[in-house]
């Protein structure tokens, strides 16, 4: 009987060790992300030369809904591991360009169901990666729209999908009319993202259309006053021509 008790105790210890593997392993650096708004803030604590001199190392991120392990080379994120899944970044993946010496992987957060990674693509465009318990979702900059994900203050997941950036259109003045085909053409959409039966479901909550942001008739009148779009007798005629 004592031998059985000893065997069961050893088995329980083994199972406990398997369930807490990230904490039991040895990592070069350990950070609590509750102390940072952005993952990239970690790299402000050393000079770029100091980070580069470290070469390849591992980083354990606590403070999320699940432990996250990041494999690094200097300030370059090579891969991210969560829920026993690995997302390859660095030279082999999305984050293969530097921005002012920092890795473009600037945000790592989580909800109850997923780890959220955001990768800067430049001035205003981002890529998003979701590591869920059953699979990984990668949203790269797309030709028709960009889709990004954010963790709300209540811990739920939000998405934002942008077809045309209003700020870019505003810089065009009345020439923005050349990029519109309908008064109700969708510019952006935001809403809730959730995992249902193993699938990512996006539920729209707010939609912004062209006429929400611009007074199309006023823009058209301004353009005609400057001798632009004179071949059209109305803004709707211009929009119809754009669609064709």
Spatial distance between the Cα atoms of 221 and 231, rounded to a whole number of angstroms:
13
> Mean pLDDT in the chain?
83
Best-predicted range by mean pLDDT among 87-91, 97-101, 145-149?
Answer: 145-149
Token look-up 């209003």 returns 166
Q: For residues 151-163, give the mean pLDDT.
A: 94
What percent of the chain has pLDDT above 70? 81
pLDDT at 25: 72
Distance from C-alpha of 205 to C-alpha of 223, rounded to nearest angstrom: 34
CA distances 29 to 24, 54, 56, 150, 164, Å, are 14, 11, 12, 26, 41
What separation in angstroms does the CA of 95 have from each of 47, 88, 92, 163, 216?
20, 9, 8, 23, 39
pLDDT at 6 over 80: no
Query: pLDDT tier at 143 (50, 70, 90 boundaries)?
Result: low
Kindly report which listed range (32-41, 132-141, 150-159) carries the lowest average pLDDT score: 132-141
What is the model's pLDDT at position 165? 87
Q: Tell me: the pLDDT tens digits for 28-72?
A: 999 999 999 999 899 989 988 898 899 999 999 999 999 999 999
């Amino acid at each position: 009987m004592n031998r059985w008790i000893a065997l069961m105790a050893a088995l329980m210890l083994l199972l406990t060790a398997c369930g807490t593997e990230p904490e039991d392993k040895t990592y070069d650096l350990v950070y609590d992300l509750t102390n940072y708004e952005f993952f990239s803030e970690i790299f402000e604590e050393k000079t770029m030369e100091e980070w580069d001199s470290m070469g390849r190392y591992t980083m354990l991120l606590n403070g999320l809904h699940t432990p996250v392990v990041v494999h690094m080379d200097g300030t370059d994120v090579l891969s991210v591991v969560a829920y026993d899944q690995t997302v390859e970044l660095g030279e082999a993946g999305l984050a293969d360009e530097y921005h002012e010496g920092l890795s473009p992987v600037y945000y790592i957060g989580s909800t109850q169901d997923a780890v959220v990674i955001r990768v800067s693509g430049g001035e205003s465009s981002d890529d998003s990666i979701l590591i869920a318990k059953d699979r990984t979702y990668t949203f790269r900059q797309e030709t028709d729209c960009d889709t990004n994900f954010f963790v709300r203050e209540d811990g739920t997941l939000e998405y934002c999908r942008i077809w045309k950036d209003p700020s870019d259109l505003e810089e065009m003045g009345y020439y923005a009319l050349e990029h519109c085909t309908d008064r109700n053409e969708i510019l952006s959409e935001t809403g809730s993202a959730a995992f249902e039966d193993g699938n990512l479901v996006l539920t729209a909550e707010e939609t912004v259309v062209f006429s929400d942001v611009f007074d199309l008739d006023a823009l058209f009148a301004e353009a005609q006053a400057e001798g632009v779009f004179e071949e059209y007798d109305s803004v709707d005629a211009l929009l119809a021509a754009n669609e064709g």
